[in-house]
Amino acid sequence: MNTNYVLVLDTERQPLSPCHPARARELLNDGKAAILRRYPFTIVLKRAVADAHPELCQLKIDPGSKTTGIALIQGEKVIFGAEIEHRGAAIRKKLADRAARRRGRRKRLRYRQPNYRTRAQINNAKRTYAQKREQGWLPPSIQHRVETTLTWVRRLRRCAPIGAISLELVRFDLQQIQNPEISGLEYQQGELAGYEVREYLLEKWGRKCAYCGKENVPFQIDHIEPKSKGGSNRISNLTLACAKCNQMKGNRPVTEFLAKKPDLLKCIQAQAKAPLKDAAAVNSSRWALYRVLTATGLPVEVASGGRTKFNRKQLGWDKTHWLDAAAVGLVVALRLATERPLSVICKGQGGRQKGVFDKYGQPKRNQRGIAQIRPLKPVHGWKTGDLAQFDGQIYRITPRQSGSFALSTQGQKPFSRPRQRLQRVQRADGYFYA
């Protein structure tokens, strides 16, 4: 059983206060409750209880480009944590592959006379197409992050008494709220001074020294072009360096310091100018996520990333997505009642295409003939993504017509076993849990 607290429902399927795993084990052994879902672990009581007013919980969310952290707070305890791994890159790749196959198919089928339209006509056509999009339209890879987060908010609301939501969204001027007369250089002397810039640089440079590659050591902010040589304080001129490399570089230009390492110099110069794609994806989806969460009717608290990092440092927690979520917003005192989060990996609901293509875009197998005889899914009552138990471990199932199913899990090579030896744990819902 996961170390997270167990979600509890009454006989009417209404959420009650989550309980400790030991208490849930007692209820299951005594026959007073039954398992409703494995992930997240949820039980339903068999008898009515008098807990009509359960203690409300607070749901905290730390949205990210690749992984979103979720934490459930009850009083001063962090009772549930989850990390959702998005599939935005997979969606973007599938769309690009589909466009390439269509483009190749159009060229192969028939000859098309060249179009000699002017550049102005082409730009007008693109502008007209863009105007047809609805207000607030997002690319599918980014819209997926919003919808996945909303799905899990709704799922947790059905299983836990959530009374409020905290979301890492915008940067409030907290210093001016505390001191309305603040101005000028006084902004740089507050409690959050430098946290936003440092967090940006940590994400951009992969939390390691740009010159020697060391990790898990105290870092210093270094000017790629020294200020004494005309360098600025712009983000594109800042990088991370360990104390030893920073002292060795001193006030020398990076071209002089890395004169004997041209490959490393080229990488640093390219990384300094490269945009942070993940940060851009989060910025594109943050307001859409805020709007859909506000539409749930719950009060939504928003806070900045600098405040989140400040709270996490004060609490002494490690850098993880679910602990970042627990540190979002106003935090007075929190303690961890769970040790590890639930790992959720987005897999999707399966595609509709009947053909399978190789890496060159050529069809190598067509399922259309099989589909006319019998449907592609389910196979023997199983679907791709169903969770089954084999030898005490949970696996993700890929069914086959032969009856020998493929079992896969993280960190292991897939293998096949007869379906008669498998015990279904949970039907496919588009996610894999670790």
Task: Encode pLDDT of 43-100 as tens digits.
Answer: 999 988 876 688 899 999 999 888 999 999 998 999 999 999 999 888 988 888 888 8
The strand pairing partners of 335, in sequence order, are: 77
Q: Predicted confidence band at 266 (pLDDT cuts at 50, 70, 90)?
A: confident
| Predicted model pTM | 0.73
**CA–CA distance, 16 with 8 (Å, rounded to integer):** 5
| Whole-angstrom distance, CA of residue 328 vs CA of residue 64 | 13
Whether the per-residue pLDDT at 355 is higher than 80: the answer is no
Query: Which of 174-188, 244-258, 293-307, 375-389 bottoms out in mean pLDDT, i.e. has the lowest?
Result: 174-188
CA distances from 390 to 255, 260, 367 (A): 58, 56, 29
| Percent of the chain's residues with pLDDT above 70 | 83
| Range scoring the smallest mean pLDDT among 17-21, 105-109, 228-232, 308-312 | 105-109
| pLDDT value of position 22 | 93
Which of 45-54, 110-119, 156-165 is predicted most confidently? 156-165
Helix boundaries (H) for 7-52: 21-29
Distance CA(303)–CA(348), nearest Å, equals: 30
Average predicted confidence (pLDDT) for the chain: 82
Nearest in space to 142 (alpha carbons), one of 237, 227, 68, 245 = 68
- Looking at residue 434, its pLDDT comes to 80
CA 154 to chain centre: 17
Give the pair of three-digit tokens for residue 379.
Answer: 């196979």
Residue-level pLDDT at 66: 87
Residues with Cβ within 8 Å of residue 36, at least 6 apart in sequence: 9, 42, 43, 44
Strand bridging mode 363-366 / 387-390: unpaired
